């Protein structure tokens, strides 16, 4: 075993920044709170992104196994050590192909493939969505909840999260079944009333996909899905903090209302960590201009955000650094039922990120080893 110290001033331990350095022995964190190093760097558990449609010029829906490997490798430049590959609404054949590729990629990674961020399973964002709130999801592939179709897809790869609209016929029964099976159900792309939203959460849904985006609005007499999600203490809200999906005031409002139950996600596309220009998400052409990803109709279509940039963006709004770091580590780990991830404490696996005092990633560690940077394009506000 090789014992090393990270050379940090503080570390995120049990939700707070504990002064002192961190010791790693082999692939395990062994001690925290050691005499602090100079330089102002902080350590945190590796970041976890629960919504990644693509990254670094690779689209998850269209990728081959090597493409998934490239995403895993590129994510580590941004401090991400675990992620959920996300498939948006598409035809049955395309979805089946993508699930097959992902399952094969997962097998190769488990067998010791290219070091990189660990995929945690698959997030199906659709096709059981409201026709009124599709965003950039192709309407021709949208459908009402269909247990048989979902069962067939789940047989092809480990589906750990599903986004659906609770107001659709058969949705509540599907929510209950998935929740009983241990699948995380997220309400989103929904025109739900408050009553629909409550029914979905009561049936077992535990979170919302990109709060406020592609869902019924929050009105003072009709709170819709976002109002119910913010008001219920048993619901985790997911936010895209890229300066485009949410106004700064709305981020602060949501953070205040749902303090301690917020998860930051990117909804990244293949444009993430790349220059502006033309890209695609699941075959839908998109263009990145001024940091925003939009389809041909001008509708936001995922993002070019990286998770480390989301952390900086949130902290720039005056949010507490430790709380923001929890929202990309322990909070998403808990949401997907992975208590082994998102924690930095003695005995934990040494999947870590080291940040400087500007919250820029300086090192990412996987299993106790620093990962060689891959030179991805970064930005403070994507």
Q: Please, what is the end-to-end C-alpha distance for the chain in angstroms?
A: 40
CB 125 within 8 A of CB 188: yes
74, 64, 157, 160: which is closest to 115 by C-alpha? 74
63, 138, 133: which is closest to 103 by C-alpha? 63
Handedness of CA 298, 302, 306, 311 (dihedral sign): positive
CA 152 vs CA 99, 147, 291: distances in Å? 11, 9, 37
Residue 197 tokens, joined:
């939203």
DSSP code for 161: E
DSSP string, 235-274: -EEEE--SSSSS-HHHHHHHHHHTTT-EEE---B-TTTTS
Handedness of CA 183, 186, 190, 196 (dihedral sign): positive
How far is residue 253's CA from residue 92's CA, in Å, rounded to a whole number?
A: 39
Share in percent of the chain as helix, strand, coil (round to 5): 25, 25, 45
How far is residue 380's CA from residue 320's CA, in Å, rounded to a whole number?
A: 18
191, 212, 168, 187: which is closest to 300 by C-alpha? 212
DSSP code for 347: T
32, 57, 8, 63: which is closest to 286 by C-alpha? 57
Active-site residues: which are they?
267
How far is residue 246's CA from residue 213's CA, in Å, rounded to a whole number?
A: 8
């Amino acid at each position: 075993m090789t014992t090393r110290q990270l050379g940090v001033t503080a570390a995120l331990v049990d939700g707070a920044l504990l002064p002192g350095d961190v010791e790693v022995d082999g692939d395990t964190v062994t001690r925290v709170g050691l005499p602090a190093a100079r330089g102002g760097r902080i350590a945190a558990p590796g970041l976890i992104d629960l919504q990644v449609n693509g990254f670094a010029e690779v689209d998850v829906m269209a990728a081959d196994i090597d493409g998934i490997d490239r995403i895993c490798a590129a994510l580590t430049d941004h401090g991400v050590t675990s992620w959920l590959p996300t498939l948006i609404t598409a035809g049955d054949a395309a979805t089946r192909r993508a699930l097959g590729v992902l399952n094969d990629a997962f097998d190769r990674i488990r067998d010791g493939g290219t070091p990189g961020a660990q995929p945690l399973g698959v997030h199906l964002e659709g096709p059981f969505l409201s026709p009124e709130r599709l965003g950039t999801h192709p309407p021709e592939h949208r459908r009402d909840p269909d247990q048989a179709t979902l069962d067939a897809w789940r047989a092809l790869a480990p589906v750990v999260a599903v986004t659906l609209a609770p107001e659709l016929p058969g949705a509540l029964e599907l929510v209950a079944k998935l929740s009983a099976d241990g699948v995380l159900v997220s309400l989103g792309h929904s025109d739900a009333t408050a009553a629909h939203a409550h029914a979905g959460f009561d049936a077992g849904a535990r979170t919302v996909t990109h709060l406020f985006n592609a869902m019924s609005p929050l009105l003072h007499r009709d709170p819709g899905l976002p109002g119910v999600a913010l008001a219920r203490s048993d619901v985790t809200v997911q936010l895209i903090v890229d300066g485009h999906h949410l106004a700064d005031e709305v981020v602060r409002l949501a953070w205040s209302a749902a303090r301690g139950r917020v998860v930051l996600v990117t909804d990244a596309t293949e444009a993430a960590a790349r220059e502006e220009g033309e890209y695609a998400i699941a075959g839908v052409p998109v263009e990145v201009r001024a940091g925003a990803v939009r389809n041909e109709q001008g509708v936001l279509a995922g993002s070019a955000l990286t998770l480390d940039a989301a952390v900086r963006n949130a902290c720039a709004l005056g949010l507490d650094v430790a709380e923001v770091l929890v929202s990309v580590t322990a909070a998403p780990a808990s949401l997907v039922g992975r208590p082994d991830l998102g924690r930095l404490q003695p005995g934990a696996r040494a999947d870590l990120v080291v940040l400087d005092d500007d919250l820029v990633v300086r090192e990412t560690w996987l299993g106790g080893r620093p990962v060689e940077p891959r030179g991805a394009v970064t930005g403070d506000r994507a």
